[in-house]
Amino acid sequence: MIKLKINNKTIEVEEGMTILEAAKTKGILIPNLCYLHNVHECGSCRICVVEVEGNKNLQASCITKAQDGMVIHTHSEEVRKTRKILYELMISDHNKDCLSCSRNQSCELQELSELLGIDQQRYEGKRSKDVVESSNPSVERDMSKCILCRRCVTMCNEIQGVGVINSQNRGFDTLVGPTEGFDMMDMNCTFCGQCTTVCPVGALKEKDSIKDVWKAIEDPSKRVVVQTAPAVRAALGEEFGYPAGTLVTGKMAGALRELGFDDVFDTNFAADLTIIEEGNELLKRLNAALGGKKATLPMITSCSPGWIKYIEHTFPNELDHLSTCKSPHMMLGAITKSFYAKKIGVDPKDFYVVSVMPCTAKKYEITREEMAKDVDAVLTTRELAKMIKDAGIDFCNLEDSTFDNPLGLSSGAADIFGTTGGVMEAALRTVYEVVTGEELPFDGLHVEPIMGFDGIKAAEITITHTVPEWSILKGVTLKIAVASGLSNAQKLVKEIHEGTSPYHFIEIMCCPNGCISGGGQPRPTTDEIRLKRMEAIYREDDEKTLRKSHENPFITKLYEEFLGEPLGHKSHELLHTSYVKRGKFNELL
């Protein structure tokens, strides 16, 4: 422990903390902007400067370590004056169209203005950049709003290990983006949107789909279907002032109906369907491998379109490891426009399917040629909140509603798709039971070793006995792994590439900790908020009577009435897809 004095108050903190962190433990808040705890701590904006006695210059408190005997002033006149100057200089090169900015009232720069008591703008000067990029389906860049905090650069390079954007040029000409002359679409961008979740201003955001969706709702010739991903219900409430981790499933269904959607379906139904198809695909591959036939193992999940684009660019020769299953919302789109269309006698062409996703990569996914027309528009969680507000819906006072059937019923196994480890656990609940005839032998059906926030998790499950038709698996120890965040995913695929991977089945989610921290989720996503969202997801699962995908009665019915059998002809036509070999510069290989 070390002792130091902050604002005439002697405090004792553990060694190794920065001044900012040390002050925070004692309730002293130092204004900051570019700082992101544990993610981006580089002192580039200097807003968090403090006076340290004995030092000639003010120190950036987010990178200066607290030391024994330090005497610090966090709000002396000099400090306050300097922060204001720094702020005014920053906004002298900032597009201040705040009223028409998508981040109006949710902008960290705006908040900081209030916090610092900014009451004038003394510096009017040349503006450095006006680059706007909106040529890709997922992410929009407006550099006239960028304040060069470089949080997005850290996310893209260090957390995701992709490196599409970085600082270009120098000084006044500095610009954050891909190499000059390239768009994100020309590069190996996965469209994960993690850059959009950390941008403090309106420089990086999802490509707007709200207008298209309103237009479809207003069009009387369209049957507009909406579906929501599991992670949305665990985060949407944050946009309406609920504490993180509040489940708003019922209110969300009610709000969607009030918005005017004709059918309110649940992507979770298709998550159950995914488990049936993917589980069977795994068993088929295991069966073939054990029977001495050719089979590509480990099999890797394919629900996360950012992850798919990543592997296509980075390991184009390992695409056979991917499950051929489409992501759940694409499956639901396909089933809506075939099975459901036939059932209610509507021409599939008259359907307009909207997916509400915690994801920006899914906006790109629906433009992929291999599955064009399954889904017509993707809204992020943030966009849905905007629409609800725009429609004047009093979200907090809405009565709970439910999803429409038949494509609205789901098991708890589907709920946990929203968090890292969830797809794997859901698959195991079904696969283990199919093979052994018994329930998955874990407390509460939760596979403990693959729960939680570690970037890479692994487990082994030995199959000691089987039902007669799966006797080939008797005595087999199933080795599984789960990774989230692309730099973690890279480690597991590298093992595959080098032929050293010990696993049979791997779950990969593009975003760190899975969809709960997706690129389309409410801002901010801190470690604490992630944890609360994850707990909410497991709570949703635990509270359901249906806990396993294969027990979903509407899934059974769907196979009986329409699909026939898992991996059958119809399934292949509607629920499975193929992948594209790409190079680093998005060229086809």
Partner 1 sequence: MNQEMTCQCEEVSEEEKLGLIEEVIEEYKGKEGSLIQVLHMVQGIYGYLPVHIQQFIALKLDKPLSEVSGVVSFYSLFSTKPRGKHTINVCLGTACYVRGGKKIVDRLKEILDVNVGDTTGDNMFTLEVMRCMGACGLAPAMSIDDKVFKQVNPDKLTEILDLYN
For this structure, is 370 an active site residue?
yes
Q: Which listed residue (48, 303, 325, 359) is catalytic?
A: 303
Q: How far is the CB of 171 from partner 1 (least distance, A)?
A: 9
Question: In the range 187-206, which residues lie near partner 1 by CB under 8 A?
Answer: 187
What is the per-residue binding string for partner 1 in 367-386, x denoting contact by CB under 8 A? --------------------
Task: Identify which of residues 159 and 164 has a Cβ nearer to partner 1 in the complex.
Answer: 164
Task: Identify which of residues 182 and 562 has a Cβ nearer to partner 1 in the complex.
Answer: 182
Task: Identify which of residues 169 and 556 has a Cβ nearer to partner 1 in the complex.
Answer: 169
Q: How far is the CB of 407 from partner 1 (least distance, A)?
A: 41
The span from the CA of 82 to the CA of 74, in Å, is 12
Q: How far is CA 335 from CA 273, 292, 339, 406, 453, in A?
A: 10, 35, 5, 11, 33
Task: Identify which of residues 157 and 402 has a Cβ nearer to partner 1 in the complex.
Answer: 157
Q: How far is the CB of 163 from partner 1 (least distance, A)?
A: 3
> What is the sign, positive or negative, of the torsion defined by CA atoms of 107, 108, 111, 117?
negative
Q: Which listed residue (61, 323, 410, 549) is catalytic?
A: 323
How many helices (H) and strands (E) in the chain? 19, 18
Q: How far is the CB of 195 from partner 1 (least distance, A)?
A: 12
Q: Starting at the edge strand that comes first in sequence, how are the strands of the sheet with 132-133 ordered? A: 132-133, 139-142, 204-206
Q: Which listed residue (205, 362, 363, 548) is catalytic?
A: 362
For position 585 contacting partner 1 by CB under 8 A, the verdict is yes
For this structure, is 303 an active site residue?
yes
Secondary element (H or E) of residue 228? strand 223-228
The amino acid sitting at 495 is: E
Q: Which listed residue (12, 15, 53, 370) is catalytic?
A: 370
At residue 491, φ and ψ (nearest 5 deg) are -60, -45
Task: Identify which of residues 128 and 526 has a Cβ nearer to partner 1 in the complex.
Answer: 128
**Helix 77-92 with 108-116: angle, nearest 10 deg:** 140
Q: How many residues bind partner 1 (CB under 8 A)?
A: 19
For this structure, is 365 an active site residue?
yes
Question: In the range 531-550, which residues lie near partner 1 by CB under 8 A?
Answer: none
CB 193 within 8 A of CB 159: no
Q: How far is CA 9 from CA 27, 66, 73, 206, 333, in A?
A: 11, 14, 10, 45, 60
CB 413 within 8 A of CB 442: no
Residues 6+ apart with CB under 8 A from 6: 19, 22, 23, 26, 28, 72, 73, 74
Q: How far is the CB of 208 from partner 1 (least distance, A)?
A: 25
> What is the sign, positive or negative, of the torsion defined by CA atoms of 39, 45, 47, 52?
positive
For this structure, is 515 an active site residue?
yes
Q: Which listed residue (41, 238, 281, 312) is catalytic?
A: 281
Q: How far is the CB of 589 from partner 1 (least distance, A)?
A: 13
For position 10 contacting partner 1 by CB under 8 A, the verdict is no
Tokens of 381: 């969680």
Q: How far is the CB of 181 from partner 1 (least distance, A)?
A: 6
Strands 456-462 and 204-206, by their bridges, are unpaired
Question: In the range 128-187, which residues lie near partner 1 by CB under 8 A?
Answer: 157, 162-170, 177-182, 187
Task: Identify which of residues 163 and 260 has a Cβ nearer to partner 1 in the complex.
Answer: 163
Closest CA to 383 of 509, 241, 214, 144: 214
Task: Identify which of residues 178 and 512 has a Cβ nearer to partner 1 in the complex.
Answer: 178
Q: How far is the CB of 335 from partner 1 (least distance, A)?
A: 39
For this structure, is 192 an active site residue?
no
3-state secondary structure 444-511: HHCCHHHCCCCCEEEEEEECCCCCHHHHHHCCCEEEEEEEECHHHHHHHHHHHHCCCCCCCEEEEECC
CB 508 within 8 A of CB 301: yes
Q: Which listed residue (102, 515, 532, 549) is catalytic?
A: 515
Q: Which listed residue (239, 278, 383, 540) is catalytic?
A: 278
Strands 132-133 and 139-142, by their bridges, are antiparallel
For this structure, is 101 an active site residue?
no
Task: Identify which of residues 10 and 168 has a Cβ nearer to partner 1 in the complex.
Answer: 168
Task: Identify which of residues 139 and 416 has a Cβ nearer to partner 1 in the complex.
Answer: 139
The span from the CA of 233 to the CA of 419, in Å, is 12
Angle at 328 between CA 367 and CA 204, to 5 degrees: 50
Q: Which listed residue (51, 206, 365, 507) is catalytic?
A: 365
Q: How far is the CB of 183 from partner 1 (least distance, A)?
A: 12
- First-to-final CA distance of the chain: 57
Q: How far is the CB of 281 from partner 1 (least distance, A)?
A: 32
For this structure, is 369 an active site residue?
no
For position 399 contacting partner 1 by CB under 8 A, the verdict is no
At residue 124, φ and ψ (nearest 5 deg) are -115, 120
Task: Identify which of residues 165 and 286 has a Cβ nearer to partner 1 in the complex.
Answer: 165
Residue 518: strand pairing partners: none
For this structure, is 362 an active site residue?
yes
Q: How far is CA 15 from CA 12, 60, 65, 67, 544, in A?
A: 9, 18, 8, 7, 46
Residues serving a catalytic function are 278, 281, 303, 323, 362, 365, 370, 515
- What does the binding site for partner 1 look like in residue numbers (CB under 8 A)? 157, 162-170, 177-182, 187, 584-585
